[in-house]
Structure 1
Amino acid sequence: MIPFSDVARAAYCPRQLYYARRDDDRSVPDDARARIDLAFRYSALAGAPDRTLRRLPIRRSPAAYRRNLARLRERDDYDRLVDPERERAFVSGKDCRGTVHKVLAGDRDGSDSAGDGYPADPPVPTVVSPGEPPENGVWEPQSVRAVAVAKAVAWEREREVPRALVEYPSVGVIREVRLTTRRKAAYRRSLRAARAIDGPPSRVDDDRCAACDYRERCGLGRRSFRSLLG
């Protein structure tokens, strides 16, 4: 059973996952944890004064942050975002397990067409990221993690969960992740990579390396032009 964090790391860099496993390092840094916690405070922060917001680890000016939170309040699922069915829930699926930050209930106004005791619309799990979103969509590791989370919730509920959300609470932005064929294929590749690691995978040597906590021990240096040609 692969942790959600491992399959996301494998999508980012299998070698990074190798070092994290070797060090048994799956802790969340304090600053990242503080940003994740903002996802559970939208209602209180929407009208917070500048002096309060400046003390928080937000990534926008107070005025811009409040505008983003005001846009969130226009979402149809806003009430469920601030009052989810489950928070920080441990979920174990067929292949992956771990903590799901939120599980939003399905539409309880619909009829129970499946006859299984659940609302007609499926639940919507969320992944909370402490970082910045890309210009469009979500980053690949977060997409893979969102698919893993949705599949685990689907396994638990014994029903299809076709989408998940990725929240960027330090920015006040939420992005949808549909479980498309392409995204599910990326998830399967990352799952296979996570399962296959029994030694240090090949180095990648690209823009990812500059932000990696393991870049020094990885031994990654400037390779010769001949080595780049193989």
Structure 2
Amino acid sequence: MIPFSDLARAAYCPRQLYYARREDDRAVPPDARARIDLAYRYPALVDAPDATLRRLPIRRSPAAYRRNLDRLRGRDDYDWLVDPARERAFVSGKDCHGTVHKVLGAGGDAADAPGEDAAADAPGEDAAADAPGDDEPPLPTVVSPGEPPENGVWGSQAVRAVAVAKAVAWEREREVPRALVEYPSVGAAREVRLTTRKKAAYRRALRAARAIDGPPSRVDDDRCSACDYREECGVGRRSFRSLLG
């Protein structure tokens, strides 16, 4: 099976995944881990003073960060974001596996799911509309240490979100139609719905990840400037003959 992180890399650039798989240490870098950890501290950060926020790896000024967290607090699912059913849970699906940062709503262990006797105690329609409840599909989240795009999420993150949702669906034996991508160093969360187009992108990335048995073709575009493997890959140092194909 393919790790969630490998699938995201395959969606971004299969050649990058090829080089990443050759690394002995593929742990999340400390600076990225510190930004991911912010996703578990929203209540303490939303009213934190400037001095506290300046010591943290946030990507906005303290005032802007507090404003973003205040908007985040206005989400219907905010209470679930700060108190998820599961945190850093290992999930194994049909095709992919890995750590799901949070599972909201009915995402606890199967043994914890309410039975028929609990139906009378279930929240009413108004409460259920506020956030995913016990009678609604679980809502998994992917926590990104980076910046969000102006709208939506980055394509590789959408693929990872689909993979996570499908794995949770496989585990829970029920449909999971959406996921969230959190950007805690910015104080934002974006929804990813499992549309036909996004599921097609997921399948392409899955095929690409499975097919790698040698270095795939270079892409040599805007992605390369931010890639940790650009020197090893040799982008920008190809011959004129190779550029002509």
Q: TM-score band, normalised by the shorter chain? A: over 0.9
- Whether the 8 Å CA contact 1:110–1:120 is kept in 2: the answer is no
1:4 lines up with 2:18 in the alignment = no
1:131 lines up with 2:149 in the alignment = no
Deviation per CA, 1:178-225, whole angstroms, max 9, x where unpaired? 000000000000000000000010011011111111111112224466
TM-score (norm 2): 0.88
Deviation per CA, 1:36-95, whole angstroms, max 9, x where unpaired? 000000000001000000000000000000000000111110000000000000000000
Once the two structures are TM-superposed, the CA of residue 27 in structure 1 deviates from its matched residue by: 1.1
How far apart in 2 are the matches of 1:24 and 1:163? 34
Greater Cα shift, 94-103 or 19-28:
19-28
1:205 lines up with 2:215 in the alignment = no
Once the two structures are TM-superposed, the CA of residue 26 in structure 1 deviates from its matched residue by: 2.3
How far apart in 2 are the matches of 1:120 and 1:159? 11
Alignment of 1:72-111 (within 5 A): 72-106=72-106, 109=123
SS in 1 for 2:181: strand
How far apart in 2 are the matches of 1:25 and 1:186? 28
Paired AA for residue 102 in structure 1: K
Paired AA for residue 171 in structure 1: V
- Whether the 8 Å CA contact 1:9–1:141 is kept in 2: the answer is yes
SS in 1 for 2:185: coil
Deviation per CA, 1:101-158, whole angstroms, max 9, x where unpaired? 00001495259xxxxxx82210100000000000000001100000000000000000
SS in 1 for 2:203: helix
> Paired residue for 2:162, among 141, 147, 150?
147
Show the counterpart of 1:175: 190
> Aligned in 2, Cα 1:195/1:110: closer, same or farther, shift over 3 Å?
farther
Show the counterpart of 1:14: 14
> Paired residue for 2:211, among 192, 196, 209?
196
- Whether the 8 Å CA contact 2:65–2:186 is kept in 1: the answer is yes
* Unaligned residue ranges in structure 2 (runs of 5+): 108-121, 126-132
Show the counterpart of 2:47: 47
How far apart in 1 are the matches of 2:229 and 2:209? 17
SS in 2 for 1:53: helix
TM-score (norm 1): 0.93
How far apart in 1 are the matches of 2:49 and 2:221? 41
How far apart in 2 are the matches of 1:199 and 1:225? 23
Q: CA RMSD in A?
A: 1.6
Paired AA for residue 233 in structure 2: C
How far apart in 1 are the matches of 2:25 and 2:150? 30
How far apart in 2 are the matches of 1:110 and 1:6? 41
SS in 2 for 1:166: strand
How far apart in 2 are the matches of 1:191 and 1:220? 24
How far apart in 1 are the matches of 2:224 and 2:141? 27
How far apart in 1 are the matches of 2:219 and 2:137? 39
How far apart in 2 are the matches of 1:8 and 1:149? 11
Show the counterpart of 1:215: 230
- Whether the 8 Å CA contact 1:4–1:96 is kept in 2: the answer is yes
Once the two structures are TM-superposed, the CA of residue 22 in structure 1 deviates from its matched residue by: 1.4
Count how many residue pairs are aligned between Structure 1 and Structure 2: 224
Show the counterpart of 1:114: none
* Unaligned residue ranges in structure 1 (runs of 5+): 112-117
